[in-house]
Chain A
Amino acid sequence: MNRIKAFITDFGWPRIIIAIFLLALFISAPFVGVKLDASFTDVFNRFGQNVIMVLALVPMVQAGCGLNFGLPLGILSGLLGSTMAMQFGLTGPMGFLVAILITIFFGSIFGLGYGKLLNKVKGEEMTIAMYVGFSAVMLFSILWLLLPYTKPDLVMGYAGEGLRRSISLEKYWDKILNNFLALRIGSVRNLAGNLSGGFIFPTGLMMFVAACVVFMWFFLRTKTGTAMTAVGSNPDFARASGVSVEKMRTTSVVVSTIIGGIGILVYQQSFGFVQVYDAPLYMAFPAVSALLIGGASVTKASMLNVVIGTLLFQGMLTMTPSVINSVLKTDMSEVIRIIVSNGMIIYALTRKTKVTK
């Protein structure tokens, strides 16, 4: 009994409630006429689509920089990557690869500057990160209008300049990871001869995600990663043992920004569109909530937190509209999303972090 109690306090009530809620949604889905196979396909897609942006938050949490509300900076480098690769006319795997390389280049530059800035403002990182992210998104909104993009399917039709609000990836690398070795289970061939229905497992996407998670796991166990965690756990102790606090924090921010950029590339190929202008403005918040739902705190996060959190959060976002709508006939999912995700962040911010067990 005591062990159950300890588990519950450790895991936290909000997470248990969300897990039970999700389970209830899945159980009730067949009774209200929601197809389970399609739902599972959606959950897996959205999981893969979002999980890398959640993963991007981990290094900064570990290095004691708090929740990276400045994730939009990484996303902007990702947007630069994909739009530039498209402007160069690269398609398919080549295009996606070049997009990743450009993203890494810009992500390092942005991350370096952003990291140096955060070092100057220790203790207020999260509020400042949020506003730095907001202003960067707005600055780039101006740049999307002024940068010399010329490809007709990128720019706005009537003026011939300035990017479109959302750019289709159809002719470039739409679903390049999702469709790679995708498994179809229980699909039926319809009259037109196309496969439809059933559960589709996005193998390529999951392989990419697994590679990223394993990379991060190893990275945190390298010398640099260990030093980073030491800085986050106890900066004074870390400095006494000869670790440069400032350098480790900057490294964590750079890694976070680059992974965030790759995260948006994966998101785009699954979603099928590149969204520019103010679309990245609030993208940090769902990622942050997902990480916290997974059991991370403001100072500690693990790979398990990332995977469980994204599954729970995206599962909830996928299932609530379909199930609740068929029961109540109104779309309450948006309201539930806002309350749950922000409630989760507040819960994490107000929780006293336990030092010892």
Chain B
Amino acid sequence: MNPLKKFEPLKFISDNIVTVIFLALTIIAIPFSRLSGIYILSNLIDRFARSAFLVFALILPIMAGMGINFAMVLGATAGQIGLIFAIDYNVMGIQGLLLATCIGVPLSIFLGWFCGQVLNRARGREMVTGFILGYFMDGVYQFFGLYVMGWLIPIRTREVMQVTGSGVRNTLALGPVRGGLDNILNLQVGPFHLPLLTFGVIAFLCLFIIWFRKTKLGHDMRAIGQDQGVSHSAGIAVDRTRIMAIVISTILACIGQIIYLQNMGNMGTYTSQRQAGYFAAAAILVGGATVSKATIMNVFVGVFLVHSLYITMPIAGKEIFKSAMVGQYMSDFINYAIIALALVLHAWRNKRNADLARAGLRGHADKDSALAAQAGAVQ
């Protein structure tokens, strides 16, 4: 961006309308929730360390022009399978997390490759296909967790097994690996816990993404995101590069989910992966990313904003409407609606730009009057 360009507040707001709306909602919710600033801030730090990594998984597919990778759920599933084994073999602390990663990453590579193949066949509707692929994977994962585990693969630990004697439990306590990463270098500053190692991992990931953009593969991805046809003519292996974007995204989602769960200490065996997908998509869009453009800054802003709303909204809703359920539904509604809004705005802007470009081709001097004339003709 050109630093000399004049700053126009109205244009800035309309370009970042999703972020602005979300910020406004949060600012309204904070006083109603009657939570102290210190409580909100210490919660935010904790939640940021927990979930920032997951959101980074979405950057590369956006760069490659594949939209929001809703199929990151596949990576999160791989991470959970890794954790199931770590708990089952009773490997403690950071070793347990490393074991989970060692099992999860190869699985993510395979799932990401599979997902990339599918998405290459569904050009132009990657997002909806990725979304359904997540549901499809849920079925495969349930088959694995409920029937394969305990039948083909024996379960060693009783706490992992369902009461009926086969399959993995619906909620798994991750006691042995809980805080495996967070507690290694934990700094206490006043009322705030600062898990330095987790922050280190996130910082390292940021550096990786900055570096990756500059590599050959990163350039290829950006080129494909601009125009697949031209990239193909320029000798870029389009299909392969798209698959690479999804594979890396799936691996990051796998590691991100492991980091998330070691902080939570509990895992909804068959539901946690789904929440990861919803959360990450909402966060990156709230942070100001669009379906075709995302930066590291978007991730940071998004994670902070979404979590401030998650912390305050249920309590604020309860205070305003005198009903705890309203607050909960309100959070869910805002989560879904903000994704819908971001997608609508992006698609709408794209369509408007395309119409303007087409109107320009017709040789009208004033594009707006051309649009109006065209709209009149259609009616």
Mark A residues whose CB is within 8 Å of B: 69, 117, 120-124, 126-128, 130-132, 134-135, 138-139, 141-142, 145-146, 162, 239, 244-246, 277, 285, 330, 332, 334-339, 342-343, 345-346, 349-350, 352
Contact = CB atoms under 8 A, between A and B. Distances in A.
Contact of A128 (B136, B344, B379): B344
Contacts of A124: 127, 291, 343, 346-347
B19 interface: no
B336 A131 contact: yes
A263 to B, nearest CB: 21
Interface in B278-309: 291
Say what secondary structure dominates the interface of chain B.
Answer: helix
Nearest to B128: A126
A138 B139 contact: no
Contact of B343 (A69, A128, A332): A128
B378 A130 contact: no
A142 B128 CA distance: 27
A244 B379 contact: yes
Interface stretch (B49-57, B191-199, B322-330): B322-330
Contacts of B140: 339
Interface string B129-147: 1011101101110110011
A127 B343 contact: yes
Say what secondary structure dominates the interface of chain A.
Answer: helix
B131 A127 contact: yes
Nearest to B68: A127
B323 A138 contact: no
B181 to A, nearest CB: 32
Given A127-B127, A135-B336, A338-B138, A142 B329 contact: yes
Nearest to A298: B125
Contact of B333 (A135, A146, A330, A338): A135
A350 B330 CA distance: 35
B92 to A, nearest CB: 32
Contacts of B346: 124
The 8 closest A-B pairs by CB, nearest first: A338-B139, A121-B347, A138-B333, A131-B340, A339-B139, A135-B336, A135-B337, A342-B136
B333 A346 contact: no
Given A120-B344, A127-B128, A342 B139 contact: yes
B237 interface: no
A138 B378 contact: no
B124 interface: yes
